[in-house]
């Protein structure tokens, strides 16, 4: 029999009985829990859980289950998300001129690694339209300058809402998004920063790394927030560098890093593995 998978992501103030209450409500309505992971932050007093379950033998309709979950959530003061695998997320990729992260995401999607629909590609440059065409994804050119930026972002918000976009991936998008945009998609914009944050915040981090003579370079995928480069970190990785590496070598090594770090963060988000609190993340990997 085919499974009908769903995921429940929960965070709330920690107190006794939460695990049992959630297990009971799901189990009581005939959901079969396949996977359950939990975390508590004793300093923050917060509780986090991810439950993945099969609803194919549910003894009620979804609406009834949803009301029951809502009731538990209210009782424990939970923030939660209940997500059905039958409704994959819709993704918009924002790019400028660098193509490595875009190609990487398109190829991973083609290989079945990313559980999502690629709704559209948005760019402030026409250069990558041909790549979008190769992979059959709609391309929208959205030119911006200092004057029209606020208006352009309002049009982009409308465009994404029209396309029912759930997640925005900034795949080396070289424009800072304003607070309205980031606020509208709060917790749903993933950026790749080409450095090991919080080292080398800001521009040209590979040049900064070369100047400082570091022995490792890194990349950081994080949720975008109103404060540039300071959103919750989802994933980071590094690669060794040495005195033999020119700035071009660092950029080349960095491209490989950026691709894998961004792809991991996007996949975890699409699989509903990431919870945000206190400007950091719990990743149930």
Per CB under 8 A, residues contacting a second copy are 16-17, 19-20, 23-24, 26-28, 32-42, 57, 100, 103, 107, 111, 113, 134, 196-200, 212-216, 218, 232-238, 242-244, 246, 252, 255-256, 260, 278-283, 285
> Please, which residue, 152 or 282, has the CB nearer to a second copy?
282
Catalytic residue (one of 229, 245, 271, 272):
229
Category of 51 on φ-ψ map: left (φ > 0), alpha (ψ -120 to 50) or beta: beta
**Is 141 in contact with 129 (CB distance < 8 Å)?**
yes
Question: Least Å distance between CB 178 and a second copy?
Answer: 24
> Please, which residue, 154 or 208, has the CB nearer to a second copy?
208
As separate numbers, helices (DSSP H) first and strands (DSSP E) second, the chain gives 8, 13
229 assigned to active site: yes
Q: What is the DSSP letter of 171?
A: S
> Please, which residue, 95 or 165, has the CB nearer to a second copy?
95
> Please, which residue, 165 or 282, has the CB nearer to a second copy?
282
Question: SS3 string of 107-153?
Answer: HHHHCCCCCEEEEEEEECCCCCHHHHHHCCCCEEECCCCCCCHHHHH
Question: Least Å distance between CB 148 and a second copy?
Answer: 32
What are the strands of the beta sheet with 139-141, ordered from one edge? 139-141, 116-123, 89-95, 167-170, 189-193, 216-223, 233-240
Question: Least Å distance between CB 157 and a second copy?
Answer: 28
Question: Least Å distance between CB 23 and a second copy?
Answer: 4
- Catalytic residue annotation: 229
């Amino acid at each position: 029999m085919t499974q009908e998978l769903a995921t429940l992501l929960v965070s709330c103030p920690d107190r006794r009985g939460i695990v049992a209450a959630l297990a009971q409500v799901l189990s009581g309505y005939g959901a079969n829990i396949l996977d359950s992971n939990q975390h508590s932050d004793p300093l923050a007093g917060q509780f986090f859980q991810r439950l993945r379950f099969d609803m194919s033998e549910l003894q009620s309709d979804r609406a009834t289950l949803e009301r029951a979950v809502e009731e538990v959530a209210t009782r424990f003061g939970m923030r939660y998300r209940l997500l059905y695998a039958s409704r994959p997320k819709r993704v918009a990729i924002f790019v400028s001129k660098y193509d490595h992260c875009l190609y990487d995401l398109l190829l991973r999607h083609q290989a079945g690694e990313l559980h999502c629909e690629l709704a559209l590609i948005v760019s402030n440059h026409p250069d990558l339209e041909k790549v979008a065409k190769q992979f059959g994804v709609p391309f929208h050119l959205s030119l911006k300058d200092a004057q029209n930026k606020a208006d352009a972002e309002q049009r982009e918000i409308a465009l994404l809402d029209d396309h029912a976009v759930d997640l925005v991936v900034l795949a080396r998008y070289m424009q800072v998004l304003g607070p309205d945009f980031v606020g509208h998609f709060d917790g749903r914009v993933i950026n790749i920063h080409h450095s090991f944050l919080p080292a080398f915040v800001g521009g040209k981090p590979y040049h900064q790394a070369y100047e400082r003579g570091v022995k490792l370079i890194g990349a950081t995928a994080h949720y975008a927030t109103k404060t540039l480069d300071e959103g919750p970190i989802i994933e980071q990785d590094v690669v060794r560098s040495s005195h033999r590496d020119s700035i071009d070598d660092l950029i080349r090594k960095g491209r490989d890093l950026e691709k894998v770090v961004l792809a991991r963060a996007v996949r975890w988000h699409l699989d509903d593995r990431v919870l945000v609190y206190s400007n950091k993340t719990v990743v149930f990997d």
